[in-house]
Amino acid sequence: MEIAATSTVTLSPPQSRQFSHTFSRSLRSLPSLRFNLSFQSTSLRVSATSSMSAFAAEKLSPETFLDKKESGILHFVKYHGLGNDFILVDNRDSSEPKVTQEQAVKLCDRNFGVGADGVIFAMPGTNGADYTMRIFNSDGSEPEMCGNGVRCFARFIAEIENLQGKHSFTMHTGAGLIVPQIQDDGQVKVDMGEPILRAEDVPTRLVGNRGESVVAAELVVDGVSWIVTCVSMGNPHCITFGTKDGQDLRVDELKLSEIGPKFEHHEMFPARTNTEFVEVLSRSHLKMRVWERGAGATLACGTGACALVVAAVLEGRTDRKCTVDLPGGPLEIEWKEEDNHIYMTGPADLVFYGSALL
Ligand SMILES: N[C@@H](CCC[C@H](N)C(=O)O)C(=O)O
C-alpha cells in the first residue's frame, strides 16, 4: 500500500467520524476493488491545503494506478439524504449502468468498499423525461424507486450541470415520472406521484379488505399477529403501527434486525417488501424505523415516509400533512386531496468525490 497525501482536514462531529471512517477504509487493500479519494466537500466543510489521494493498492505506484484508468475507473460522488447514503454515478452518456450489480455490492460494503445503501445512475432521459434514474440496492437488487435517492439525484444533477438556485426537472424511474424541485434553501421538494393501493399491484398476497386495498389487516409474522397496511410508491411497503393485541409500537424498543428480515421475506410479499414500524406522536407527527428490502436497517427511507403517511390517513390516525421523524432526521410529507399526489420535502447533501478502480 502506498499513500501520497499532504493535507489538513478540519471537520466537526459527527461528519468527522464519517470522514475518517471512510478515509481509513480507503487505505485498505481490497481484493478486487480499489479506490482513490479526493475530497472537496463544502457540505462537510473540508479544507485541504493540498489535494489528497490515498492509493489502496497492493503493489501499484500512483503512476500505475493512474494507468489503470483505461481499464475501468469509476468516478463518483457520494451523497446522503438524512443518512440514507448513495454512490452517484454520472451515466448521462449511456443507457447501460457503468457498474454491474455485483460491483455495486462491493462498492456498498461498509468494511471492504466505499460504503453506501445503494448505487444510483443518472442516465439519459426516456419517455420524454429530462433524465432517467436507476438504482441498485446494497444487495445488488434493483428497486423501482427511491425517495431519498431522488433528492440526492436532483442535487447531483445541479452539481454536474452547474445549475444555481431554484430548479425543477423530470425524471423517469421504475415508478414512472417523478418531478423534483430544488428550493432556494437547498431542500428538495419531490412530486412522488400517486400511491398504489390495489393488493395485487403492491404486490401482496394479502386479500384486499377495503375494496382491493389492504388496510389494517392481520399478518402473522413469526407467530405474532401484526396489523399492517400495504402501499406501493412504485416499490412495495408494509406499514405497521402495532400488533393485534392493541399495543401501540414504541419504535425505539423494537428489535429491528430480528423482525425486519421476517417481514422482508414473508410469503405474503412476492417481490419482498420494505417495512415501516411507526409510532404516532400526534395527528401531524409520526416517528418511524425502517427495514429496507435489499438494504436492511437504514437511517431514512423517502418512499417509506410517503407510504406510511398514506397508511396513517387510511387508518384514520393522522391528517394528510405530517412531519415524519426518521432515525436520520425529519421529512415533510403531504398527501394532497386535489391531485392524489404525495409531496416529500427534505435535504440531500454531498459527502465527497471519489474514484474506484473496478
Ligand atoms: N431508501 C429508499 C428506498 C430504496 C429502495 C428500497 N430498498 C427497495 O428495494 O424498494 C428511499 O428513500 O425511498
Ligand 1 atom closest to residue 148's alpha carbon, by position in its atom list: 12
The whole-number average pLDDT for the span 324-352 is 98
Q: Is 76 within 8 Å of 88 (Cβ atoms)? A: yes
Cis check for the bond before 180: say yes or no (omega within 30 of 0). Answer: no
Domain 2-193+348-357 identical in fold to domain 199-340 = yes
C-alpha cell at 22: 471512510
Bond from prior residue into 203 cis (ω within 30 degrees of 0): yes
**Ligand 1 in contact with 137 (CB < 6 A)?**
yes
The model carries a pTM of: 0.84
Which residue's C-alpha cell is 389494517? Answer: 216
For β-strands 296-298 and 52-55, DSSP reports them as: unpaired
Q: Is 185's pLDDT higher than 90?
A: yes
Of 62, 44, 46, 42, whose CA–CA distance to 54 is shortest?
Answer: 62
Calpha distance 244→319 (Å, rounded): 23
Encode pLDDT of 42-98 as tens digits: 333 332 222 233 334 444 444 554 444 446 789 999 999 999 999 999 999 999 999
pLDDT per residue as tens digits for the range 254-299: 999 999 999 999 999 999 999 999 999 999 999 999 999 999 999 9
Which atom belonging to ligand 1 lies closest to the Cα atom of 298?
1
ipTM of the complex: 0.99
Distance CA 89, CA 133 (A): 10
As a whole number, the mean pLDDT across the chain is 85
Q: What is the pLDDT of residue 298?
A: 98
Cis bond before residue 14 (omega within 30° of 0): yes
More confident residue, 68 or 215: 215
Check whether 108 has a pLDDT greater than 70.
yes
CATH number of 2-193+348-357: 3.10.310.10
CB of 148 sitting under 6 A from ligand 1: yes
Active-site residue list: 146, 301
- Domain residue ranges in the chain: 2-193+348-357, 199-340
Using CA atoms, how far apart are residues 236 and 91, in angstroms rounded to an integer?
Answer: 26
CA distance 40 to 303: 30
- Name the residue of 301, 326, 344, 345 whose CB sits within 8 Å of the most ligand 1 atoms, as the mutation to test its pocket: 301
Residues in the chain: 358
Q: Is the CB of 146 under 6 A from ligand 1?
A: yes
Strand partners, 344: 190, 333
Residue whose CA is at the smallest distance from ligand 1 atom 1: 301
Q: Whose CA is nearest to atom 4 of ligand 1?
A: 146
Q: What whole-number distance in Å separates Cα of residue 161 and Cα of residue 150?
A: 16
| H-assigned helices in 164-208 | none
CATH of the structural domain 199-340, one choice from 3.30.70.260, 3.30.420.40, 3.40.30.10, 3.10.310.10: 3.10.310.10
Residue whose grid cell is 435517492: 149
pLDDT band at 21 (very low <50, low <70, confident <90, very high): very low
> Which residue type sits at 75?
H
- Note whether 241 and 249 are within 8 A (CB): yes
